Structure 1
Amino acid sequence: MGEAARKLVTETVAVNDEMKKFGMKDKFGYLFGDFGNDFFFILVSSFLMVYYTDIFHISAVTVGILFLVARIWDAIADVSWGRFIDTRKAGKNGKYKPWIFRMSIPLVISGVLMFVHIPGMSNGFYIAYAFVTYILWGTLYSTVNIPYGSMASVISGDPVERTALSSWRTLGAQFAGLIVSVVGPMIMFVNNKADANHFLLGAIIFGILAISCYMACYKLSVERMVMDEAAKPKVNFGRTVKGLMKNKPLLWILIASLIFMICFMLIGAVNVYLFKDYFGNAKALSMVGLLQSVAIFIGMPMVKPLVAKFGKKELASAGVLLAVIVYGLLYFLPNLTSIQFIGILTIAMFGYGLFNLVIWAFVTDVIDYHEYLTGLREDGTVYSIYSFARKVGQAVAGGVGGAAISAVGYNPTLQVQTQTTLHGIHTLGTLVPAITLFVVFLIVTFLYPLNKQRTEQLTIDLREKRKGN
């Protein structure tokens, strides 16, 4: 380990003693970051496909191609931006926070533009407009999300405090999800149909709320882990790649996260059609959003004691397995009412919610493991690699989602879909998540190596290496 690792010290950019201590202010600040992110992320993942198919009248296959192309581009943008951030020097407000401040307003403006519908234009115009605005939004999302995600590892060096940040980040996402999923359908659907003007109104409202949250994140968060720039080693891409390839915890969490994101995004896209067409009740999506947030609120206070007793890996595995069992059960119960379906679904949401509550703490662990292997503290690069995997998962889910909806015979011009199509939508919303999440369970349980004991030992070993070199 080089001189830079020895210079990695916990200090604050603030001058008063109160700000030097990690506490509720940091937790709320980090919560607001994903609160802001997910106003549009959830809006896009849950409702953009139906906006494109039902308002722009773009075919589901074309939408799937758009999502695939855009997410692959976003994945490249994530890694490029992560490397760029790692070459920047920390300023008086930190290394990562200033980028949230600078880029959040352009990001929100691009988000609103996605939901602008100009009547009477050609199909080619709508396709081109969708491609340009969606790819622009995704690119700008990287410029905010990569600094935000990287910031967790410099707010605190303590594993327990980082787990807390992961939980609070997920809570922020759930608050946004609660608002978008509950209020969104009430605003955007009129008589069970997507309405262009109401979609735009929803985008503007969520955009204003997103900006407010980003500013709160900027004001409340403190970056404590400061690298001595004079002693910082030169960027060595070959050394970085070699370290990444040896980082087995990173490789397996990348694969698990990629598959999980495919499943999560597919669920979000399919649920709109499941409730709108299979159950004939688009407004019921509000209840799904509400209960999903309730499940997270119930799980959040349980995470810290459960992680302390069993470990992050162990808790995540158990949560995913619970979701697998519930989705499998729902597949074999096709005649449930929407309310009965949602009641059982809530248990699955609680299960994979536990996974979401700790996943960001996994990322800080693999960042530490990268430093242990290479002596390089490259938070932005490692986080961007993780974000790359999630974007690839979103790309695949977008492509597969559009193709799957089309393959089961969905026709937006029909008032009522055929029985074959409805059965296909039900299968996409139940059996497919069960199978996909089971693969995630197998990876986390049997292949991801950092269990509770090894994570605790990593913290000790890394501390000793910093002292001894």
Structure 2
Amino acid sequence: MKRDLSVDAKISVPERLSYTCGNIGNCIGLAIISMYMMYYYKDILHINAGMIATIMLISRVFDGVTDIFMGCVVDRTHSKKGKARVWLLRGAVPYILSVIGIFFVPSVASDMVKYIYIFVMYNLANAVFGTVVNTAYNSMNSLITKNSYETGILGIFGMVGAMVGTNLVGSYALKIIDMFGSGERAWHLGITLIGMIGLLFLLICYSGVRERVTETQEQMENPLPVKVIVKNLLKNKYWLMVGLSYVLIMFFNGIYSTSLLYYCKGVLGSTDYMTSIMNMTAMPQIVATISAAFFVKKFGKGNTFRIGNVILIAGFLIRALAGPRPDVQIFCGLLYGVGYGLATSEILGMLADTVEYGLWKTNVRIVGSAFAVMSFAAKIGNGLGSSVVGWLIEWSGYNADTLVQSRTAVLSITACSVYIPLVMTVVMLFIMFFYNLDKNFAQIILDNKKREENRSVEG
């Protein structure tokens, strides 16, 4: 069947699935880092967790610079392979190789050499090649089609991909590593295999999607100065709301995912609970994300996000009140899956809508830089969240060689896994209470279309 390449195209199922594969591969890399890097360094290599946390925080400075830079690069890119899609191809291989490289710390080297190696590899995986892949993937949502419903559906498929990638790593990474035995060699082989699977998904995405939204000749010949891009983005209140909410949700996801293995080991008493919780989370999360299409059609994107937030709050409240009861904690994995699935399913779709709102308000379309905030948010959130876990783990006196931890260590781990994520979800709900773009979006699209038609007539 011939592919529809019109700017308002309805996207075919194969192309939607290809787009989904991109976030599976992307989030396999992110999940490897956020879930297992700190654990590998602290519990396997016995490297100081506080130093690792500090390295991760310092690296955020580089992330901020590279995200803004990469957003501008995408906005200024004009190629036969598209503005963003071409960068997905260019970044995929070095991204996965640098993620794998994080786990190949030279064990015989001095502590200083190890810290330098970790700093370099972590920044390559996040601030350099991770930025390329994240910004390219997120930008494609608004470049594949202008159809608002389709961008929403693509957002849902993208979030399903994120959940599949994250849950694959969370549920099966330790099992894959155990297949190769124990110790550093097992981790090297296991992480390499998982990384190659992630690379395959990224390449499927590149080959299966197409960009349809193009620029006018005038826009191509007169790229926007960085100052104008920043000024116009700051005028876009909905972009600020969605961007800040995504920073918070990824922060809480980062701190939760990094601390979950510690929570299972140090609070519940066994790392085996990690698989049980992730399995309880996975299917409800995917079902909720797919079902979000119904919620969006019925209630709108903003309300769907808010419903998910309320369910997340309920889940973390139950976890806080129940204490270290494995059965309750596993059950709350279900609530986490449903709430997170609904809350995040429309993040990409909402951001695509803010691009159209920005065009309507400022008469300037900014895509790459607007979506760069997603890459920035994901890495800031996961990195800072993981850093908090590292600092608290080291400060609390956590002992990697025993299952029974001190009261301070248990409290610190519980704060990371339960209390801080609870606060983040409440703050997100407050911010998104003011998001009402859904009400006026149809008229905004019509206004933008009329402007474009008028410019064509005048030209």
The TM tier, using the shorter chain, reads over 0.9
Contact 1:75 1:391 in 2 (8 A): no
Deviation, structure 1 residue 335: 4.1
Of the three residues 444, 448, 451, the one matched with 1:462 is: 448
The whole-number CA distance in structure 2 between the counterparts of 1:335 and 1:103 is 42
Is residue 84 of structure 1 aligned with residue 70 of structure 2?
Answer: no
Shift of residue 347, structure 1, vs aligned partner: 0.9
Q: Distance between the aligned counterparts of 2:403 and 2:266, measured in 1?
A: 9
Q: Distance in 1 between matches of 2:454 and 2:5?
A: 29
Q: Does 1:261 align with 2:250?
A: yes
Instruction: Give CA-to-partner distance per residue, 1:313-345, whole Å, 9 cap, x none.
Output: 111011111111220121111141x23311123
**Aligned partners of 2:36, 2:182: CA distance in 1, in Å?**
9
Deviation at 1:464, TM superposition (A): 2.6
Q: Classify 1:401/1:154 alpha carbon distance in 2 versus 1 (closer, same or farther; 3 Å).
A: same
**Partner of 1:4 in structure 2?**
none
Q: Distance in 1 between matches of 2:451 and 2:168?
A: 45
Query: Which residue of 115, 121, 130 maps to 1:133?
Result: 121
Alignment map for 1:337-356 (pairs within 5 Å): 338-356=326-344
Aligned twin of 2:138: 149
Distance 1:391 1:360, change over 3 A: same
Alignment partner, residue 11 of structure 1:
none
User: Who is 1:437 aligned against?
Assistant: 425
- How far is 1:272 from its partner? 1.1
**Counterpart AA for 1:382:** A
Cα contact 2:316–2:422 (8 A) shared by 1: yes
Map of 1:96 onto structure 2: 84
Aligned to 2:269: 280
Where does structure 2 lack aligned partners over 5 or more consecutive residues? Answer: none
User: Does 2:226 correspond to 1:237?
Assistant: yes
Which of 27, 32, 49 aligns to 2:16? It is: 27
* SS of equivalent to 2:346: helix
1:377 aligns with 2:365: yes
Q: Is 1:117–1:196's contact at 8 Å kept on the other side of the alignment?
A: no
When residues 317 and 18 of structure 1 are mapped into structure 2, their CA distance, relative to the original with a 3 A threshold, is closer
Across the aligned residues of Structure 1 and Structure 2, the Cα RMSD in angstroms comes to 2.2
Which range moved further: 206-215 or 158-167? 206-215
Matched, 1:299 2:288: yes
Deviates more, 1:198-207 or 1:359-368: 198-207
Could you tell me how far 1:390 is from its partner in structure 2?
3.5
The offset of 1:442, in angstroms, is 0.7
225 and 422 in structure 1: CA distance in 2 versus 1, 3 angstrom threshold? same
Cα distance in 1 for partners of 2:219, 2:133 equals 27
Q: Does 1:358 align with 2:358?
A: no
Equivalences for residues 9-408 of structure 1 within 5 A:
16=2, 21=9, 22-91=11-80, 93-138=81-126, 139-188=128-177, 195-232=183-220, 233-336=222-325, 338-408=326-396
What are the within-5 Å matches in structure 2 for residues 446-457 of structure 1? 447-450=434-437, 452-457=438-443
**Residue deviations 1:196-225 (CA, integer Å, cap 9, x gap):** 222212211112112211111111101111
Are the counterparts in 1 of residues 163 and 285 from structure 2 also a CA contact under 8 Å? yes
Q: Displacement, 1:413?
A: 4.5
Q: Pick closer, same or farther for the CA change 1:254–1:374 going to 2, 3 Å.
A: same
Which residue type is aligned with residue 28 of structure 1?
L
Q: CA deviation at 1:351?
A: 0.7
SS at match of 1:227: coil
TM-score normalised according to structure 1 size: 0.90
The answer for the alignment partner of 1:428 in structure 2 is 416
The CA distance in 1 between the partners of 2:106 and 2:290, in whole Å, is: 46
Unpaired runs of at least 5, structure 1? 1-14
Q: Is this contact kept in 2: 1:89–1:229, CA < 8 A?
A: no
Q: Match for 1:468: what amino acid?
A: N
CA drift at 1:455: 2.6
Once residues 385 and 38 of structure 1 are traced to their aligned partners in structure 2, the CA distance between those partners, rounded to angstroms, is 16
- Does 393-402 or 153-162 show the bigger shift? 393-402
Answer whether contact 1:163 1:361 (CA < 8 A) is retained: yes
What per-residue deviation string (whole Å, max 9, x for no partner) do you get for residues 262-305 of structure 1? Answer: 11100011101000221122122122222222012221332112
Between the aligned partners of 2:2 and 2:323, the Cα distance in structure 1 is 60
Aligned CA distance change for structure 1 residues 239 and 229 (closer, same or farther; 3 Å): same
Q: Distance in 1 between matches of 2:105 and 2:372?
A: 33
1:12 equivalent in structure 2: none
Distance apart, 1:113 and its partner CA: 1.1
Give the number of the structure with larger relative contact order, counting CA–CA contacts within 8 Å between residues 6 or more apart.
Answer: 1
Structure 1 Cα separation of the partners of residues 219 and 107 of structure 2? 58
Secondary structure in 2 aligned to 1:224? Answer: coil
For 1:365 and 1:430, locate their aligned partners in 2 and report how far apart those are by CA, in whole Å: 32
SS in 2 for 1:225: coil
Residue identity opposite 1:134 in structure 2: Y
Amino acid at match of 1:99: W
Match for residue 407 of structure 2? 419
Once the two structures are overlaid, the 10-residue window that deviates more, 117-126 or 254-263, is: 117-126
How far is the alpha carbon of 1:83 from its aligned partner? Answer: 0.5
How many Å separate the matches in 2 of 1:150 and 1:186?
A: 34
* CA contact 2:16–2:154 (8 Å) conserved in 1: yes
Counterpart contact for 1:72–1:392, Cα < 8 Å = no
The percentage of aligned residue pairs carrying the same residue is: 23
2:57 touches 2:384 (CA, 8 Å); kept in 1? yes
